[in-house]
Amino acid sequence: MNGRAPEDVLETVVREEWGRLTSLLLARFRRLDLVEDALGDAVEAAARRWPLDGAPDNPAGWLHTTAARRVLDRLRAEAMTHRKEPLLVVESERAAAGGVRADPGDLVEDDLLRLVLMCTHPALDPAAASALTLRLVLGVSTADIARLFLVPEPTMAARITRAKKKIVAAGIPFAVPSAEDLPERLDTVAQTAYLAFTAGYAPGSGPDVVRADLAGEAVRLVRVVLRLRPEEPVLVALLALMLLQHSRRDARADAAGSLVLLPDQDRARWHRDEIAEAVALCGSPALAGPVTMQAAAYALQARIALEHATAANAEETDWRRVVALYDALVGLTPTPSARLARAVAVAEDQGPRAGLAALEGLDDELPHSHRLPAVRAELLGRAGDVEAARAAYDLAVERCRNQAERDLLVRRREGLGRGG
Amino acid sequence: MRYVVLLAHDPGDRAWPDEATRERFVDDHEAFERFVDEHGRRVAGAALADADLATTLRRGADGQVVVSDGPYADTVEQVGGYYEVELPDLDTAIAAARLLPRQYTLEIRPTVQVEGHRVG
């Protein structure tokens, strides 16, 4: 660590090694409640000591030793009072009891993967799992997670504590499931990461247009898991999709902080390196074979995003191909949001009336969405039906809870009939 | 870990459309039981009579017990039986519960352990 400031060394090691340190300590002590606190204490101690003594040669080792000592101190104190806390169920215990085990020849035994699978277990509330994963795998502080998810810190702390409690009390294991169950579980890992990602990009309310920080952390999470499972289709497809959406972060808002929609974005501000990486991922052999439905859905969405990312400008977009990809996506998972997005593409390809027809039947499924009336308003406006467009904008504005999006809707409504 | 698996079903479904369905139902229960025996042990279990035979006791505002006809929760799905099992972890419990008849909605709950006493 020669020459680097101790503060930088600490920041790097926390950023890169937090999950691995957590998983090592959990495998050894099986105490979810103590490990996180002990590691936090070790980082605090490092922040005090390293600037005075210089950063150690092995910073991760230093943190591990210090945290382990803290846990042992606590365990000793508990032994004095004869308290007995419930332990995390770990792999060895399951094996001894004849539990379901993955074929060890099939899978790399990896504590970090166990940690990820435990945090993203489908028996946890998805939002809580997503927060817990950011905390335990990436080391994002509870205060930052609360800020990113737009909830007060005590609320987020309580949510994370509840998830940790359920893991221990319900016997969610610190383990890799059987080879048969693993793909499904990795789908859930992907969903958890994507939930964190979209929470960053499509805030339900509040003033932020782009909360790229959270999205960036979600990308980092997928990279961590992908390092453990390099050819996993669902992770390859998800990373491609995320990178393509994330590459537009600097173009999604103008200087005044207002939302800028895809056709109006300054494409020079897209991150080309991320697009290039996504192109490579979309062409990966991992996506050529049979994949889970979740992986296929992410891959299709990534290919749609890729059409936009590689078009020189909005006019050059190959809408016919985009519609064909949406047809495949709707065929696979006919979710209302996929059908809504397909209708937009249909309108671009075949005109506003065709787009409006493609919206039919969605009202019952999206009774609270502001996007559906917003899309309808836009298409009615293009079709020249100004009165109906205005009514649809009114409904969209009424339903929209995001300030930046609502401002945009109001501007669009005002521009009706003025050729705008 | 010790778990109770609650088996909920729509009581209207209990009549068997044919013999094959009934056999499949019994087979699925047996597959569950074999899996549990292999990976842990069965502690207890029972099939329950329909909820219209249930009797509910509640404390009234005055502290008196009020006895009434019917189950405590008036929902379409009713608990139709339970298993108490000992299994290594929730994943194993889920793997076991997947084997039960498809008619059921299943709820897995860990039992609470008395402090200072670890079952198993």
pLDDT (tens digit, 9 = 90+) per residue, A224-254? 999 999 899 999 999 999 999 999 988 887 7
Copy the structure tokens of residue A397: 């504005």
Amino acid at A157: A
Q: Is the confidence at residue A49, as pLDDT, over 50? A: yes
Residue of A nearest to B88 (CA): A94
Interface of A with B (CB under 8 A): 82, 84, 86, 89, 93-94, 97-100, 121, 123, 169-173, 175, 177-178, 181
pLDDT digits (tens, 9 = 90+) for A174-211: 998 888 889 999 999 999 999 888 876 655 444 454 47
Residue of B nearest to A173 (CA): B89
Domain annotation covers residue B90 = yes
Number of domains in chain A: 3
Q: Is A228 in the same domain as A137?
A: yes
Contacts of A197 (CB under 8 A, 6+ apart): A214, A215, A218, A219, A242, A245, A246
Q: Evaluate whether B107 touches B11 at the Cβ level (below 8 Å).
A: no
Domain annotation covers residue A100 = no
| pLDDT of A201 | 66
**Quick check: B31 contacting A, CB < 8 Å?**
no
| pLDDT of A93 | 58
Domain C-terminal end among A61, A82, A103: A82
Contact A175 B91 (CB under 8 A): yes
Residue of B nearest to A172 (CA): B90
Q: Closest approach of chain A CAs to the CA of B93, in angstroms?
A: 9
Spatial separation of the C-alpha atoms in residues A103 and A108, rounded to whole Å: 10
Spatial separation of the C-alpha atoms in residues A135 and A216, rounded to whole Å: 14
| pLDDT of A167 | 96
The average confidence (pLDDT) of chain A is: 89
Q: Closest approach of chain A CAs to the CA of B61, in angstroms?
A: 33
| pLDDT of A2 | 56
Q: Which domain holds residue B63?
A: 2-110
Q: Is the confidence at residue A357, as pLDDT, over 70? A: yes
Domain annotation covers residue B75 = yes
Predicted confidence band at B14 (pLDDT cuts at 50, 70, 90)?
low
Domain annotation covers residue A361 = yes
Task: Please tell me the pTM assigned to this model.
Answer: 0.85
Q: Is the confidence at residue A1, as pLDDT, over 50? A: no
Domain annotation covers residue B119 = no
Concatenating the DSSP letter of every residue in A318-381 gives: -HHHHHHHHHHHHHH---HHHHHHHHHHHHHHH-HHHHHHHTTT-TTT-TT-SHHHHHHHHHHH
Q: For residue A350, what is the domain's CATH number?
A: 1.25.40
Q: For residue B42, what is the domain's CATH number?
A: 3.30.70.1060
Domain annotation covers residue A265 = yes
Q: Is A123 in the same domain as A32?
A: no
| pLDDT of A150 | 78
Domain annotation covers residue A167 = yes
Q: Which domain holds residue A410?
A: 329-415
Report the phi/psi class of residue A3: left, alpha or beta, with left for phi > 0 and alpha for psi in -120 to 50: left
A97 contacts on B by Cβ (under 8 Å): 39-40, 87-88
| pLDDT of A419 | 53
Q: Closest approach of chain A CAs to the CA of B26, in angstroms?
A: 24
Number of domains in chain B: 1
Domain annotation covers residue A106 = no
Domain annotation covers residue B32 = yes
Here the ipTM equals: 0.85
| pLDDT of A3 | 74
Spatial separation of the C-alpha atoms in residues B34 and A264, rounded to whole Å: 62
pLDDT digits (tens, 9 = 90+) for B43-75: 999 999 888 899 999 998 888 999 999 898 878
Domain annotation covers residue A87 = no
A100 contacts on B by Cβ (under 8 Å): 39, 91-92, 95
Domain annotation covers residue A67 = yes
